[in-house]
Amino acid sequence: QQPVQSPQAVILREGEDAVINCSSSKALYSVHWYRQKHGEAPVFLMILLKGGEQKGHDKISASFNEKKQQSSLYLTASQLSYSGTYFCGTEINTGNQFYFGTGTSLTVIP
């Protein structure tokens, strides 16, 4: 039930781009993205509620491909503040079947 994220870890230089993928073996009804800095609580980034939806703010955006049961998070022109672990959360069917992925560690270096 837990979605699979890839890659597990990525190291970037400031200004580089990254893509984090989240895939599920089950049909998805929504996808959330959260970022967690070391020793802190996860913080909400965005939610995608329907297939084909794309969202973004600042230089972080995401897409939701309902047919492929996957979502991707795009980070462009990365900044040092983007470092952290990114989690996708997926709603399977309706109701409260909500699962987080195992996370992707992103490190941005100067």
**What character string, x for contact with another protein (CB under 8 A) and - otherwise, covers 78-107?**
---------x-x-x--xxxxxxxxxx----
Of the candidate residues 18, 24, 35, 42, the single one contacting another protein (CB under 8 A): 42
Asked if 44 touches another protein (CB under 8 A), the answer is yes
Q: What is the smallest separation between the CB atom of 80 and another protein, expressed in angstroms?
A: 23
Non-local CB neighbours of 64 within 8 Å, separated by 6+ positions: 28, 31, 48, 50, 51, 52, 53, 54, 71
Q: What is the smallest separation between the CB atom of 39 and another protein, expressed in angstroms?
A: 8
According to DSSP, residue 2 is labeled P
